[in-house]
């Protein structure tokens, strides 16, 4: 599902075979400092392409002004049951100057806009990640690859778009993306991503392979 009001999502990457395996030992949840920018000396309108610098903004399809508030490239990874997820990029975006078209758009995604307005703005979180499967079977995830996000102050973000991936043995899918809408404060320094349970995929069925796991990411001050 693509969200034209908030971000231009990168399509699922191609599946590639990799020869080297990653340790099969379950690792502790990793917390790592990120490369992050939170200030910009000037605003800049982007006519096409992604927002890459804090302060850049774009107007998309009459849905309002979308501005990049924060960007981080943590490259934090977590491994469990021979499945590795790497959090590659996180963007916090603010949508302002909301139009009736924008409100209708969010309504189509079962979002009551009044529940999420903060000073007449909407805040969304976009996460891009890679998934690597070092098992000898096809794997997938229940509910979604990243099923939920919780901020350091205990607020759970609501999922707007999700991806259910199927990954072949010893393969990797890159540049996957999910979007969450934020209810409450957009001021937070740490977030935790929770994956869906890992499934072994056989035919049209999915069978439990392992529990979902958390991935902690520090966004800086």
Taking only the tens place, the pLDDT of each residue in 30-71 is: 333 344 444 444 558 998 899 999 999 999 777 789 999 999
Distance in angstroms (rounded) separating the CA atoms of residues 66 and 46: 10
What are the residue ranges spanned by the domains of the chain? Answer: 30-218
Distance in angstroms (rounded) separating the CA atoms of residues 81 and 190: 25
With 0.75 as the threshold, say if the pTM is over it: yes
Q: Which long-range contacts does 23-28 make (Cβ < 8 Å, 24+ apart)? A: 23/79, 24/79, 24/82, 24/134, 25/79, 26/79, 26/80, 26/81, 27/78, 27/79, 27/80
User: According to the CATH classification, is domain 30-218 in 2.60.40.1240?
Assistant: yes
DSSP label at 121? B
**CB-based contact 95:64 (threshold 8 Å):** yes
Work out the pLDDT band at 28, boundaries 50, 70, 90.
very low
Beta-bridge partner residues of 181: 124, 158
Distance in angstroms (rounded) separating the CA atoms of residues 19 and 42: 45
């Amino acid at each position: 599902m693509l969200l034209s009001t908030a971000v231009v999502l990168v399509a699922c990457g191609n599946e590639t075979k990799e020869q080297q395996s990653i340790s099969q030992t379950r690792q502790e949840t990793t917390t790592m400092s990120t490369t992050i920018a939170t200030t910009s000396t000037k605003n800049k309108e982007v006519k096409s392409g992604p927002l890459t610098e804090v302060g850049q903004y774009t107007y998309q399809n009459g849905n309002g002004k979308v501005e990049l508030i924060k960007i981080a490239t943590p490259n934090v990874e977590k491994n469990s049951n021979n499945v590795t997820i790497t959090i590659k990029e996180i963007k916090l975006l603010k949508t302002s100057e909301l139009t009736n078209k924008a409100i209708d758009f969010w309504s189509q995604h079962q979002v009551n806009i009044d529940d999420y307005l903060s000073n007449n703005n909407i805040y969304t979180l976009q996460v891009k990640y890679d998934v690597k499967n070092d098992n000898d079977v096809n794997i997938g995830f229940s509910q979604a690859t990243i099923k939920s996000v919780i901020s350091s102050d205990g607020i759970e973000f609501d999922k707007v778009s999700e991806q259910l991936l199927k990954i072949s043995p010893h393969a990797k899918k890159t540049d996957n993306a999910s979007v969450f809408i934020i209810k409450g404060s957009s001021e937070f320094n740490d977030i935790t991503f929770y994956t869906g349970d890992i499934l072994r995929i056989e035919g049209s069925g999915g069978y439990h392979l392992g529990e979902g796991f958390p991935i902690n990411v520090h966004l800086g001050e």
